[in-house]
Chain A
Amino acid sequence: MSAIVGVNGIGKSTLLRTLGKVQPRLSGIILLMNKELKDYSPIDLASSISVVLTEPLASKNLTVEELIALGRQPYTNWIGKLSDNDKKKILEAIAMVDLDGLKSKKCYELSDGQLQRVMIARALAQDTSIILLDEPTSHLDLHHKIQILKLLKHIAHKTQKTILFTSHEIEMAIQLCDKMLIMNNEYHEFGEPSELIQKKSFERLFPSDSVEFDAKIGSFKIKK
């Protein structure tokens, strides 16, 4: 599980969305399994990368189960009929994200935190080796932020999937992530959180006149 952190406007979401081919790349090449991303057919890409974006759902009138079932689209036939294997994967995703009790609720009945878990379950049902999430914890309270991040860590370690997400929850990411990418204007740093703390990378993240980073407790303090 890896997090991308950085100040607003540095390009975290742009990077993530480009990696997921949600938006076109500006320049350079992106390799996935030694193959250029642009050479992937839509269906092949859909079975390799799933995404959870910040944009709202076009229709909130789907039930939780229907929405998660849409994650199986890359594998279903021309009319979208679910096979027994598809149904099994959907139930697995529902169980892993603990949504059994909400299965037949409509999406407009859910809280933000519940909806985020449903979107994660949909990505899980898509059964890809990589899941990209754009700010999965925004709009959530502290408890639900921790719940979502712990869930992602649990998924990453249990299913051996690569989970990459953008976040402003730097302190939580330090505690929970295996790797972090720090985006700065001049250069970007990637490594384990403990390495990055030792290299004083977090100190350079924000202008030093507003906050300072306390390496001992791995957290930011407001400068008085």
Chain B
Amino acid sequence: MESSNKYSVPFVLLFLALVLFFGINISLGSVSIPLKETLNAILGGDLSNDQWKYIVWNYRIPKALTAILVGSGLALSGLLMQTLFRNPLAGPFVLGISSGASLGAAILIMGAAMLSGLFSFGMINDVSLAIASSIGSFLVLLVVVMVAYRIKDTMALLIIGLMFGSITAAIVSVLSYFTNAEKLQQYIYWSFGSVGNLSWQQLLLLLFIIAVGVLLSIISIKPLNSLLLGENYARSLGVNLKKSRYIIIVATGLLAGGITAFAGPIAFIGLAVPHLTRQIFNTTDHKVLVPAVLVYGAILMLICDTIAQLPTSANVLPINAITSIVGAPVVIWLLVRKKKMIF
């Protein structure tokens, strides 16, 4: 019951770890910049090398901040979905949000080429891709919300989300089949995900979207906790289930949809971080879990991004692959060691 005192030490440690990994993330990269100079740049001091300052401020810091937002947001949306659907396999993308985004991106990249006689989509860049994928994910989300309004059964909603995923994946396959190699490569490149390439303006927009998602999640903490008993019990405790379910779905849509629009589909974080957090904190209380998954998600994403940028080399690995390669063994190890899944 005394959750605030019991968990304050782990939270302080987690926060310190977040600061540490943030520092490591921005001090490493393809161009080696001395640690002292990096710290100097963060603190706003003048650097001996203007190029370094430019790299730190316009590339590395936005990228690290994006990683934090992406990790936190995906982890939180995963937690929301797992509790709402009472399903440990649910992730932020079960409602078809990621497939909607993929469809938007695929239509822009590959469909536009086919229809070039009808439309003139001249520019395919980060901005138009973000717009296309957010339109895609929000259209799917809109349909899901409409279905949620009519269907009372949450499990049916889960299956409908998965069906939407299949439909959109199939359309993407058809598009890929008819497109040329160059366009296909461009689409695949998008699907690798990326936390770089965000300008400060885009970053602010993403921050705003995620802040709204987090706020909606915080006001849902109480219904989320009562959902641990099951939907009927939650209702008997005075939870307005319809309203709460809406808020939770919209929060997930904002978090997962917004992130996918800016960073592409990033797997694993949303599914795994809630499990990691439950195992480590040994609780299912959302008053603890909501802030904890935010910090854990951010830390894990920073670590993955640090590895993905292959320090000292000019190559960057696809972040979408790294999150699974790094994260999956951690989850397997935790489950095997504790021998019991906490859900």
Find the B residue at minimum CB distance from A49: B236
Confirm or deny: A218 has a beta carbon within 8 angstroms of a beta carbon on chain B: no
Taking the complex as formed, is A177 at the interface, i.e. its CB lies under 8 A from any CB of chain B?
no
Q: Is the CB of A45 within 8 A of B230?
A: no
Asked if B237 lies at the interface with its beta carbon under 8 angstroms from chain A, I say yes
A42 at the interface (CB under 8 A from B): yes
**B32 close to chain A: CB less than 8 A:** no
Chain B residues closer than 8 Å to A50, beta-carbon distance: 236
- Cross-chain contact A59 with B239 (CB below 8 angstroms): no
Which of A58, A62, A73, A78 makes the CB contact (< 8 A) with B237? A73
0 or 1 for each of B194-226: is its CB under 8 Å from A? (1 = yes): 000000000000000000000000110110011
* Residue from B236, B238, B239, B287 with most neighbouring chain A CB atoms (10 Å): B236
Q: Which of A42, A66, A90 contacts B238 (CB 8 A)?
A: A42
In this complex, the interface size class of chain B, counting residues with CB under 8 Å from chain A, is: 20 to 34
- Chain B CB within 8 A of A142 CB: no
Is A61 on the interface with B (CB-CB < 8 A)?
yes
Q: Is A61's CB under 8 angstroms from B236's CB?
A: no
Residues from chain A with Cβ under 8 Å of B278 in the complex: 61
Q: Is B342 close to A, CB under 8 A?
A: yes
Asked if residues A78 and B238 are in contact (CB atoms below 8 Å), the reply is: no
B317 to chain A, nearest CB (A): 36
B229 A67 Cβ-Cβ under 8 A = yes
Contact of A62 with B235 at beta-carbon distance under 8 Å, contacts A80-B222, A80-B287 already known: no
Rounded to whole angstroms, the CA-CA distance of A157 and B236 in the bound complex is 24
Residues of A71-95 whose CB lies within 8 A of B: 71, 73-74, 76, 78-80, 82, 87, 90
Contact in complex: B284, A59 (CB < 8 Å)? yes
Distance A153 CA – B52 CA, assembled complex (angstroms): 77
Scan residues 14-64 of chain A and give those whose CB is less than 8 A from a CB of chain B: 20-22, 42-47, 49-51, 53, 55-59, 61-62
Q: Give the residues in chain B near A59, CB-CB below 8 Å.
A: 86, 228-229, 284, 343
- For A126, list chain B residues within 8 Å (CB): 237
Contact (Cβ within 8 A) A55 B232? yes
Residue of A nearest to B340 (CB): A108
Could you tell me if B237 and A70 are in contact, using CB atoms closer than 8 angstroms?
Answer: yes
| Complex: A80 Cα to B222 Cα, angstroms | 6
A contact residues around B342 at 8 Å (CB): 61
- Sorted nearest first, the 4 A-B pairs with minimum C-beta distance are A46-B238, A43-B238, A59-B228, A74-B238
Please report B residues at the A interface, Cβ cutoff 8 Å: 1, 86, 218-219, 221-222, 225-230, 232-233, 235-240, 278, 284-285, 287, 342-343
> Told that A55-B230, A61-B284 touch, could you supply 18 new A-B pairs with CB distance under 8 A?
A22-B232, A22-B236, A42-B239, A43-B238, A44-B238, A49-B236, A51-B232, A58-B229, A59-B86, A59-B284, A62-B228, A70-B237, A73-B226, A73-B238, A74-B237, A78-B219, A78-B222, A126-B237
